[in-house]
Amino acid sequence: MMARQAALLRYYRVLVIVLACAAPPWWIQPAAAEDAFQALAFTPRQGTVLPLDAPFTDTSGQTRPLGAFLGHGATIIAMGYYACPNMCELERTDLLDALARGGLKTPGDYTLLVVSIDPAETRFTAQQALAEDLARFPDAGAGQGWHFVTGTPASIRRLSRAVGFHARYDEKLHQYLHPMGLVFITPAGTVSGYVLGVGYQPGDVRQALAHAARGEQVRAAPILLLCFHYDETTGRYTLAVEKLLKLGGVLTVLMLGTLLGMAHWRGQR
């Protein structure tokens, strides 16, 4: 019973995130919202070869070409940045949770490549993010199969272009605005497919890994999840974290009330 309740609560939290981040507020003009959102959506690039010679720096401070970080099987690329105040950490947490629940181990089943899109970040910020993720999701093979890297503006641009990842830095918000999603790479270093949004399920991740390992190209579902909204008082897109947390808290209370009511009703039967 407790396991089922936990699963339901996790589902509702993910649903809150998707609804709060994916749906534009009612006061945005539809055309303006569509233009602004689509400009930051993933552009599918199945079959595109990655810039395998582009240099990136790992948490040990060693700079190597991108191809050196790819595994012999399928590789998952997660693009964001380590100091993100919004949902980059949630994306990694959801992914690592799905991998753990699916019984998938690195480096045998997959290689994980987390890439910072902020050229100002260093290996020390990557080290901290890696240590925090390992503390929550320990994996004996992480030393070989998890790579948290930083790169130069040129390397980041080349990789972003290859996988169809779009981001821009907002000077007033002091944050990057970018889409949420994972890119799955074949052993040959080409784009196989995508799993977009958050709330990743073990079966979806496993299937995407299987396609990538076989060198297949898979069409992505058209999901767009962005983590900012339009503020009518400033006329700008701003983060929705506070509203998201409030909405999440309300739905969590409602969900708990529903579960308690169901348990009481069953006890009366």
Tens digit of pLDDT at every position of the chain (269 positions): 544 555 554 544 544 444 444 444 433 344 444 455 567 788 999 999 999 999 999 999 999 999 999 989 999 999 999 998 878 888 999 999 999 999 999 999 999 999 999 999 999 999 999 999 999 999 999 999 999 999 999 999 999 999 999 998 988 878 898 888 999 999 999 999 999 888 899 999 999 999 999 999 998 765 555 545 434 444 443 444 444 444 445 445 455 555 555 555 555 55
**Closest among 179, 194, 204 to 48, alpha carbons compared:** 194
Helix (H) or strand (E) holding 64: strand 63-65
Name the CA dihedral angle for 12, 15, 16, 17, rounded to a multiple of 10 degrees.
130
Q: How far is the C-alpha of 45 from the C-alpha of 193, rounded, in Å?
A: 8
Q: How far is the C-alpha of 119 from the C-alpha of 125, rounded, in Å?
A: 12
The contacts found for 255-261 with CB under 8 angstroms, 24 or more apart, are 255/8, 255/9, 255/12, 256/9, 259/5, 259/8
| Three-class DSSP category at 197 | coil
Class of domain 41-225: alpha beta
Contact yes or no for 97/199 (Cβ under 8 A): no
